[in-house]
């Protein structure tokens, strides 16, 4: 099993740009609380995630982060166990504090497309607990608990470039402006499909934590 895992990781690393998750995989469960135009307000329960922090332009950082966390789920852990992939891959801006003490979600740390610190996450299958997940072999990969929260989520297809993400983030903010929901934290970009998926068929989402104002 370990040899197969290492071979798989090697192929993924050689491809370099491989990011995303195949369709049909497990996704975190949520409840749709409300709809604001094209934006869904979703409630997610507590989740576990394997995450790493990487630096560089958004797409390159996402690829590098993906390979690190993929190494963990393909056997790079204390029990050399394979863990099923889930969707989405999440990428978000890593604050300086998180980067120093240590998101497939992604968000811009500085300017769109500019170098910065990024947190890349895989959400763990729901059957695992903190106690039953193996420890990552790579010290740059850590297991974190994601608290339950409400998110405003805008779905879009096409590319996941910084420019596209920024545009959709602007649309989400505009949609919420006249609603009773306010953004309370850093938005994330969620990617559900591998890069070879035709752009018009890709599922991408912008997700921002929100709270009701009344």
Q: Which domain holds residue 169?
A: 1-214
Distance CA 214, CA 212 (A): 6
**Residue 79 burial by Cβ neighbours in a 10 Å radius (0-12, 13-18, 19+):** exposed
Residue 203: which CATH number? 3.20.80.10
Q: Is the pLDDT of residue 182 over 50?
A: yes
Confidence (pLDDT) at 96: 36
Task: Give one DSSP letter per residue of 180-196, joined into a string.
Answer: SEEE-S--EEEE-S-TT
Rounded (5°) CA angle 97-86-54 = 30
Confidence (pLDDT) at 34: 97
Structure tokens that stand for 103 in this block: 């998101």
3-class secondary-structure state, position 8:
helix
3-class secondary-structure state, position 75:
coil
Residues recorded for the chain:
214
**C-alpha to C-alpha distances, 137 to 28, 192, 213, nearest whole angstrom:** 25, 26, 43
Q: Is the pLDDT of residue 138 over 60?
A: yes
Q: Domain tally for the chain?
A: 1
Confidence (pLDDT) at 58: 81
Q: Regarding predicted confidence, which is higher, 189 or 197?
A: 189
The per-residue pLDDT for range 1-11, each reduced to its tens digit, is: 544 544 444 44
């Amino acid at each position: 099993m370990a040899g197969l895992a290492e071979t798989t990781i090697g192929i993924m690393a050689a491809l370099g740009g491989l990011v995303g998750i195949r369709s049909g995989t497990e996704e975190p469960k949520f409840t749709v609380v409300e709809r604001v135009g094209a934006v869904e307000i979703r409630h997610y329960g507590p989740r576990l995630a394997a995450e790493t922090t990487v630096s560089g332009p958004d797409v390159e950082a996402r690829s590098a982060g993906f390979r690190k966390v993929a190494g963990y789920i393909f056997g790079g852990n204390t029990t050399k166990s394979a863990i099923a992939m889930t969707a989405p891959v999440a990428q978000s801006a890593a604050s300086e504090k998180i980067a120093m003490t240590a998101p497939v979600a992604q968000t811009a740390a500085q300017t769109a497309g500019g170098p910065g610190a990024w947190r890349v996450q895989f959400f763990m299958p729901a059957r695992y607990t903190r106690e039953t997940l193996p420890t990552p072999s790579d010290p740059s990969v850590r297991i974190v608990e994601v608290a339950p929260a409400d998110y405003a989520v805008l779905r879009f297809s096409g590319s996941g470039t910084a420019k596209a993400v920024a545009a959709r983030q602007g649309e989400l903010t505009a949609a919420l402006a006249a609603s009773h929901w306010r953004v309370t934290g850093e938005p994330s970009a969620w990617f559900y499909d591998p890069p070879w998926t035709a752009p018009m068929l890709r599922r991408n989402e912008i997700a921002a934590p929100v709270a009701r104002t009344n």
